[in-house]
Amino acid sequence: MRVLHLLRMMMTSSLLFLLYLHPPPIQAYSTTFSRLEPSSTRLVLGSSSSSSSSSSAQRCYSCMSRYYGATWQFAGYSRIYQEPRAFTDHCRDPQARGADVPSTYCEEKANCVTLIEELKIGEEKIKMTNEEKGIVSGTGARGYIRGCWGSVLLFGFNRTGTVGALAEHSFCHTFNLTQLVSGGRPEESSINVCSCRGSLCNGSTINSSTSQFTNSHLLLATFIVIFMSLIF
């Protein structure tokens, strides 16, 4: 009996560790992103006028919501994020008609990322002008950030655990900002992060199902553990 119990514990631990290190494949994005296809069916497109090195590199949208630009210095964002190619309200949906959001080629062969931050706006924390208040109300108190995995955060992403998997695996997960960064002293802030592989794949609109995506895999792991307990 002790041998069976030990075997069950080893199998359970291995399963949970495997799910932790290897997030779900990109195929699941077909129901999460309205315009994103599995990486196996996408082509990394390069401009005919680009060099061979550029055409083989990952290309991602590079932008942040206009609010970040308006509060870049005194809100401390310049000490957390790298400056994108554009601060624009169109960062919410770069593929919308007339958006004209710039893109960039990534230096590393890593994924594109999209970050949606629940902004904490308050008179007691940040003194805003009337124009800046209008920017916030226009974005629904959510900040949108898009770019290459290696060029969004000033000190880079944490390279361990689930955060570290964002570099090469395609999935969505909600983190605290303090979990994401590998340096600096950011304030507590909830951020939904999606990582993907493919040319301009981070231009897709994220819906509410992304936050349910990781939870479904946790439920699956729990079900398997219970099932194994009944067998042994």
- CA-CA distance, 101 to 200, in Å (whole number)? 11
pLDDT reported for residue 193 = 97
Quickly tell me which residue has 């067998």 as its tokens: 231
Query: Hey, is 92 helix, strand or coil?
Result: helix
pLDDT reported for residue 78 = 94
pLDDT reported for residue 1 = 56
Q: Where are the domains of the chain?
A: 28-211
- CA-CA distance, 160 to 112, in Å (whole number)? 18
Maximum separation of any 2 CA atoms in the chain, in Å: 71
Beta-bridge partner residues of 63: 146
DSSP state of 138: H
- The pTM for the full model equals 0.64
Looking only at the bridges linking them, the beta strands covering 171-176 and 190-196 are antiparallel
| 10-residue stretch averages of pLDDT, the chain, 232 residues long | 55 50 41 35 35 65 96 92 96 94 90 93 49 48 94 94 94 94 80 95 70 45 46 54
